[in-house]
Amino acid sequence: MFFWQIAIFSLFSAHKQVFMNRIENLNFTKYIVAIAFVSFILNFIFVQPFYSQSYTVKTLVIDAGHGGKDPGALGKRSYEKDIALKIALKLGEYIKENMPDVNIIYTRKTDIFVELDERADIANRNKADLFISLHMNSNVNKDPFGTSTYVMGMHKAEDNFDVAKRENTVIMYEKDYTLKYEGFDPESPESFIIFSLMQQQFLEQSLDFAGEIQKQFKVRAGRHDRGVHQAGILVLWKTGMPSVLVECGFISNPVEEKYLMTEYGQSIIASAIFRAFRDYKSQIDSKNNFKTGLPKNNVVRKTESSKKPTESNNSKTVEISETDIVYKIQVASSAKPFDPKHKYYKLFTDLEEIKIDNGYKYYTGSTYNYSKITALLSSVQKNISDAFIVAYKNGTKISVNEARKFQKK
């Protein structure tokens, strides 16, 4: 925790009784606004420059929401706590198998009750770089369906506040919660004002990751995208790193509940979050590599085109030259996306998936250098004899001959 955060916490603690007595008073609002302004300025001066230069993802905490005596949302045939745990374990398994350099920590691996502050403390004690809390959504109306991802912030819609209230009322299962969370009322919007300030330095990273999750839910899992939202969720406020809370679907919707209860549905949801994490980490690592010094004639950018490409890239970060020509080796094509456990993910650590109109294609070895790609092809063909070279210009597939001509100009 940074020194300015400690100062604000101290200020809040010293005046907490005044805050509670004057919660409806205009002067309180002005006081909070002043604290918010000071917090923003200190964050901008001290935290953002340091954090943006040093951030990487080595340790991930996966939090399966609820558990034990707290069932979470109730479906017609299921409990939120059970589905969340199954998805959490699958997610961790996918990451462990495909990204062994990432240290994975679970807040729970069995059906036990873990207090909200302890979930955050687990992440803080282990100096985690990212925190993912998995949940199922619910509504009194059975019609709503789809996925959404939340980051810590002020509620901008009544629906967001409802989600925050539901997730935060977990504290009522805890002993002496009125003392432990003194000053926090899960039913009161005012309680979130101070709390939302503490996650501001991580907001950009949290939003980036949340966006990747929703993109994968829509593209990979084929789920209804309900978007990225900000809400005053207590478990996110307590964490000292970028954090998201994922609502994987509505168990109050009979059709979606049935899907979430299946092994297939849980695997698809987990693999979508895994892909989002993989792409997010790749982007972070690429930024760090760029800052530490890539060759001057190289740039790092996403192979996405403003025009509709022949094959739409799945936001994989690759190395390309000033001519915007990229060579890849195609190793497979499939009508359905590969499972994260597929042998090719172990064979090629940089395996890239590109969705096309009638299926998916898989590539390895993105580079602007034709000599490098031809040398790599010889190595790849020892395992996959029918692998071949393809070329892209500005994110659009072109023939290898065309690419060679562009580079010779």
Is the domain of 88 the same as that of 60?
A: yes
As given in the structure block, the two tokens for residue 239 are 């964490």
39: in domain: no
Span 2-24, average pLDDT: 46
Burial class from Cβ neighbours inside 10 Å (0-12, 13-18, 19+) for residue 115 reads middle
Q: Tell me whether residue 44 is in a domain.
A: no
Residue 388 belongs to some domain of the structure: yes
134 within a domain of the structure (yes/no):
yes
Most confident of 85-99, 113-127, 171-185, 357-371: 85-99
236 falls in which pLDDT band (50, 70, 90)? Answer: confident
Query: Are 240 and 298 part of one and the same domain?
Result: no
> 185-189, 204-208, 349-353: which has the minimum mean pLDDT?
185-189
Residue 250 pLDDT > 90, yes or no?
yes
Q: Where are the alpha helices (DSSP H) in 348-396?
A: 370-380
- Does residue 31 or residue 239 have the better pLDDT? 239
Q: Classify 11 in phi/psi space as left (phi over 0), alpha (psi -120 to 50) or beta.
A: alpha
Per-residue pLDDT averaged across 108-125, rounded?
92
The answer to the question of residue 183 being in a domain is yes
| Per-residue pLDDT at 3 | 43
Q: Measure CA of the first residue to CA of the last residue in the chain; give whole Å.
A: 54
pLDDT computed for residue 353 by the predictor:
84
Question: Which residue did the predictor score with more confidence, 47 or 268?
Answer: 268
251-272 pLDDT, tens digit each:
999 999 999 999 989 999 999 9
pLDDT value for 194:
52
Residues 211 and 107 in one domain: yes
pLDDT value at 42 more than 90 = no
Name the region of 324 (left: φ>0; alpha: ψ -120 to 50; beta: rest). left
Judge if 269 and 327 occupy the same domain.
no
Distances from the Cα of 115 to the Cα of 64, 136, 157, angstroms: 12, 18, 27
Assess if residue 391 is contained within a domain: yes
Q: In a 10 Å sphere around its CB, with 0-12 CB exposed, 13-18 middle and 19+ buried, how is residue 144 labelled? A: middle
Range of the domain at 108: 55-282
> pLDDT at position 54, please?
63
Domain membership flag for residue 398: yes
% of the chain exceeding 90 in pLDDT: 34
pTM of the model: 0.59
Q: In whole angstroms, give the CA distance from residue 96 to residue 79.
A: 27
Q: Is 172 exposed, middle or buried (0-12, 13-18, 19+ CB in 10 A)?
A: exposed
User: Domain holding 230: CATH number?
Assistant: 3.40.630.40
Examine the domain organization and report whether 199 and 150 are in the same domain: yes
Q: In the chain, what are the helix, strand and coil shares in percent, each to the nearest 5?
A: 45, 20, 30
Same domain, yes or no: 270 and 404: no
Q: What is the mean pLDDT of residues 209-237?
A: 87
**What is the structure's pLDDT at 301?**
31
Distance separating alpha carbons of residues 66 and 84, to the nearest angstrom: 8
**Cα–Cα dist 22/15, whole Å:** 11
State the pLDDT at residue 322.
38
249 and 300 together in one domain: no
Reported as type and span, the H/E element at residue 367 is strand 359-367
Total number of domains constituting the chain:
2
CB atoms within 10 A of CB 25: 12
76 has pLDDT over 90: yes
Considering the domain architecture, whether residues 301 and 274 belong to the same structural domain is answered as no
Q: State the pLDDT at residue 325.
A: 82
Both 156 and 228 in one domain: the answer is: yes
Average pLDDT, rounded, for the chain: 75
